[in-house]
Amino acid sequence: MSKSNSSYTILDIRQNDGSDTQHSETKPTAAHLDVPRPPSPPASNHPSVENAFNGSDLVDSILDGLSQPAQHKSIPTFVLYDTKGLQLFDKITYLDDYYLTEAEQSILKVQADNLADRVKEGSVIIELGAGSLRKTELILQAIEKKQRHVVYYALDLDQRELEKSLSSLGDGYRYVKLMGLLGTYDQGIPWLSKRYTSQNVPKLVLWLGSSIGNQSRFESAVFLNKLQRTCLQPGDLCLVGFDRRNEPAMVAKAYDDSEGVTREFIMNGLDHVNVILGQPLLDRQDFEYFSRYQPQHGRHIAHYRAKRDLAMCYTDNDRQVPIRINRGELIHVEHSYKYNMLEIMSILNAAELDLVEEWMDQQQRYWLVLSECRSFHFEFDKAGTLAALSGSDAGEADKASVMDLPVGCTTCDEKDGPSTTDAMDQPLVNITGSQLWSETVPTLHEWEQMWTSWDVVTRIMLDHPTMLFERPISLRHPFIFYLGHIPAFLDIMMTRQKADEELGVKGFTEPAYFTELFERGIDPDMDDPSICNPHSEVPKNEKDWPSIDSMMDYQQRVRHRLRKLLMQWETDCYHGTHYLTSARQRAARVVWMCFEHEAMHLETLLYMLLQSPNLCPPPVAPPHWVLHQNDHALGAPILALDHAPLLPFSADAMTVTVGHNDDEALDGKTTEAVIAFGWDNEHPQREAPVAPFEIQTRPVTNGEYWAFLQKQPVQDQAGLWPASWSKREQGTLPKIKTSFGLADLHVTNHWPVQVAYTQAEAYAQSQDMRLPTEEEWTYLRKHVDQKRHDHSTRVSSSPTLPCNVPNVGFLSWTPLPVSNEQLHAVGDVWEWTSTIMESVPGYKRSELYPGYSADFFDGKHRVVLGGSWATHPRIAERASFKNWYQSSYPYVFSGFRLCRSLKKE
């Protein structure tokens, strides 16, 4: 059924049988998810409500909530949103006390054009819970001004309000086609999936008004994850409004305004309950509105509180439902969650969405967050993400100041989050994991994401017809070598270690000679290139290389080989057994080792590609500066940050744990199902003394390095010029090489600079400081990790600097600006240390990969720690992981920070 107007059309999708849509398969891993919908009004025979729902279950839902024992009673939130409720809520949005609407609207007045720049021609825009469209109108007008043909769908459940809202837009749109969808989220999302997902139509989903706050953080993550998996394709965008964790008094006033409109909005819900039940069960005179903000949980809660003891009975045909409510007892009706940036990033991470831009109003009360569905997503900080979604308790240090006192409602007094389960197919298993799957071993899902990332870099950013034989770094093989090396390494390891012998697989994948041709790459001595590690002999002429088609076929066969093994192991988990028996430990190590090997080479390929003038940008939404780089004033001065704050560590007898224990020789000899794998240079774990020192809170930036470089003699500048910068030209500012091409120094001024160790050392000497040792940098990192994972930093103010959200795993495809207002450890760039890469007491050469570390104990390689924007989170988040490069190697995504020793008092 549809209803048309000269300027818009409304489609009734409540009883949609799919006859007006094309069938399409949804992404298979999401179809089973049991996702609670955001609160929506129900069906009703009352004339004030359009019959938008099948109301057969609504009475039972209400009665079930009221029949619960004390402290467990609730009424579904949807009772607040009958026609009168919607009108009252619209009135609330005009109140000064209710800052959310004004804050969101003020953001869109500034940023609507920027959003419209990202909306592609022919896009479909769907808004969940459209409401009055006052804010949406700003977006549609910006799109209309840019003359982009789009179809806009306003999804809502009240037909009269939907008609009123669409009519308010007028008939002045030529490029924006206005449509209404009458239905719920549960009906709108499948409709969107069936109608558009298989047609490769670009999509923008709008979820405004802080509606995401109406669910718990875990529920919101599950909802967005289902939306992403069922409706979105790579390149599709999602704009979500998040209310910040503002001052408690401000939040409390927003939900209990001075004019009493919110109170009437809540109490009207009781009248609506009676309409739904068909009898006057609840008298609003017997209840009062109980409103409270819980700062620890970051949520506002709304209840009905009984003024007296109540006994009532619902009667319908042959059944009677007695209900008793004690004086002072609370009935939960609504909650609204508030967010900090760590929690927003956790929501996006769990939903497998990637941040594009975030916008805040001038008073810093509210965020609009634009995210993107990309072809791959690397989950990061799973433990921290799950803690944020589950409402974990505050850290012990700050509990006294932020602990929410119980209110007498189980819904509000207990933490959120998933129930414990062993299932591999539960919602958000990408974050929660399974107790039957060892976290140290990458899952098939992780491997599929890794393979997709490899294909993005090697098939899109690397143009096969023109770039295969390029050597932008003369110390490395041409690009074509790495396309064969990755599958060959996996094939070699699986065969030699008999990883899939349980499946009857023996011998190398054909063509077997690829394992010799592509076994190992090169790392020649930069001072004497004739000195090089053992490596494969590769063809000198282009015509002697295998065809790229044969290499791609080989790659797919090797991937399938591993895929079959992991499917067997996951099948064991589905059947309730631990797959990682002692007999499989060596095979599991192979799976882990090959995963991290591919992740490291992915980053190698990227820093090689950034040295090529023929680089193609990645297929993701570009950062803001790419769209607006020409907006910067020509000739404007480059102002570096003030000197980075120094963080002192001066306790007596400080020590730090370096490395971890993982002896390959014990594979198959232990019954432990959980093993923390690591490379040979991470073993063994040891305690190292740390003398008092102070260290910068962030890496050195491009702007700071540029200021240093300008002070150096002209004859010295060439040797100090970073390879991450464009060619040196007298009288012009350098540009920075990025995945999206060259970026102005005005844009990259506060990004961490990427240099060789020798260049970092020269900068340090100019500042009368030095680079940290491995032990000092690790001490800082563990200090920051402890702060970041202390939940108290998420919910309470602190005099210390907040921690950055680590930019690793392609959170951004470039470094991001650092500041003196954040404590920065891992992310954006690796960081040089002054420590020489060498053997440590107890070191054992790897049996699986003998030359991994030992070939580089030559006194010329420096330890590099942390991780860059292109480092997989599995590597960047493991504090024991140790990287290394030659001191004068200038191409790696590595920066540095300064430190100095402190005298003992």
pLDDT in tens, 681-730: 999 999 999 999 999 999 999 999 999 999 999 999 999 999 999 998 87
pLDDT of residue 55: 52
Task: Tell me whether strands 899-901 and 861-866 are parallel, antiparallel or unpaired.
Answer: unpaired
CA–CA gap between residue 352 and residue 374 (Å, rounded): 8
For residue 803, the model assigns a pLDDT of 87
- ∠ CA 212-215-219, nearest 5°, is 100
The pLDDT assigned to 795 comes to 39
pLDDT single digits (tens) 130-153: 888 999 999 999 999 999 999 999
Please name which of 272, 231, 212, 229 lies closest in space to residue 87, comparing C-alpha atoms: 272
**Cα gap 149→178, rounded to integer Å:** 11
Is it the case that residue 621 has pLDDT exceeding 80? yes
| Helix, strand, or coil (residue 115) | helix
Residue 24, pLDDT above cutoff 60: no
Percent of the chain having pLDDT more than 70? Answer: 89
Residue 20 vs residue 422, higher pLDDT: 422
Q: What is the pLDDT of residue 668?
A: 87
Q: CB neighbours (10 Å) of residue 318?
A: 5
Give pLDDT, residue 502. Answer: 93
| Residue 725 dihedral angles phi and psi, to the nearest 5° | -105, 160
Q: What is the pLDDT of residue 792?
A: 40
Determine contact, residues 736/742, Cβ cutoff 8 Å.
yes
How far is residue 747's CA from residue 496's CA, in Å, rounded to a whole number? Answer: 49
Give yes or no for a contact between 538 and 517, defined as CB atoms under 8 angstroms apart.
yes
Question: In this predicted model, what pLDDT tens digit does every residue of 181-236 receive, in sequence order?
Answer: 999 888 998 898 889 877 789 999 999 999 999 999 999 999 999 999 999 999 99
Per-residue pLDDT band for 577 (boundaries 50, 70, 90) equals: low
Residues 791-800: what's their mean pLDDT?
Answer: 44
The pLDDT value given to residue 431: 80
Per 3-state DSSP, the chain is made up of helix, strand and coil in percentages (nearest 5) of 35, 15, 45
Fill in the amino acid letter for 293. Y
- Chain centroid offset of residue 453 CA: 15
Asked whether residue 853 carries a pLDDT value surpassing 70, the answer given is yes
Average confidence score pLDDT of the chain: 88
Lowest mean pLDDT among 17-26, 162-171, 655-664: 17-26
Homologous superfamily of the 444-609 domain (CATH): dinb family like domain (1.20.120.450)
Is the peptide bond preceding residue 684 cis, with omega within 30 degrees of 0?
yes
User: What is the three-state SS of 634-698?
Assistant: CCCCCCCCCCCCEEEECCCCEEEEECCCCCHHHCCCCCCCCCCCCCHHHCCCEEEEECCEEEECC
Sign, CA torsion 536/537/538/544: negative
pLDDT at 755 over 80: yes
Distance, CA of 644 to CA of 822 (rounded, Å): 10
Distance CA 158, CA 135 (A): 19
How far is C-alpha 757 from the chain's CA centre? 31
CATH architecture of the domain formed by 2-14+33-39+89-247+338-391:
3-Layer(aba) Sandwich (3.40)
158, amino acid identity:
D
Identify the weakest region by mean pLDDT among 160-164, 222-226, 423-427, 606-610.
423-427
Close Cβ partners of 491 (under 8 Å, ≥ 6 residues apart): 508, 509, 514, 515, 558, 561
Question: Is it true that domain 643-708+751-901 has CATH number 3.90.1580.10?
Answer: yes
Cα→Cα distances 339→254, 344, 367, Å: 16, 6, 9
Confidence (pLDDT) at 796: 39
How many other CB atoms are found less than 10 A from the CB of residue 253?
Answer: 19
> Do 7 and 152 touch, CB atoms closer than 8 A?
no
Higher pLDDT, 771 or 6: 771
Does the structure show a pLDDT above 80 at 109?
yes
Considering the chain, tell me which residue range(s) the CATH 3.90.1580.10 domain(s) occupy: 643-708+751-901
Q: How far is residue 350's CA from residue 33's CA, in Å, rounded to a whole number?
A: 14
Alpha carbon distance 297, 285 (integer Å):
31
Q: 528-539, pLDDT tens digit by residue? A: 777 777 777 889
Q: Residue 244 in 3-state DSSP?
A: strand
Confidence at residue 420, expressed as pLDDT on a 0 to 100 scale: 43
Segment 573-589 mean pLDDT: 82
Closest CA to 738 of 812, 814, 626: 814
Structure tokens at 707: 């200021």
Is pLDDT of 671 > 80?
no
Q: What is the pLDDT of residue 788?
A: 78
Is residue 552 over pLDDT 50? Answer: yes
Q: Is the pLDDT of residue 313 over 90?
A: yes
Count the Cβ atoms, other than its own, within 10 Å of residue 526: 16
**Residue percentage of the chain with pLDDT more than 90:** 73
Per-residue model confidence (pLDDT) at position 574: 74
What's the CA gap between 278 and 272, in Å, rounded? 10
Which pLDDT does position 674 carry in this prediction?
A: 59
- Is 416 within 8 Å of 391 (Cβ atoms)? yes
| CA distance linking residue 599 with residue 305, whole number of Å | 56
| Dihedral sign, Cα of residue 275, residue 281, residue 285, residue 288 | negative
46 pLDDT more than 80: no
CATH 3.40.50.150 domain position(s) in the chain: 2-14+33-39+89-247+338-391
Q: How confident is the model at residue 116 (pLDDT cuts 50, 70, 90)?
A: very high
For residues 563 and 444, the answer to whether their CB atoms sit within 8 Å is: yes
The helix (H) or strand (E) run that includes residue 467 is helix 464-467
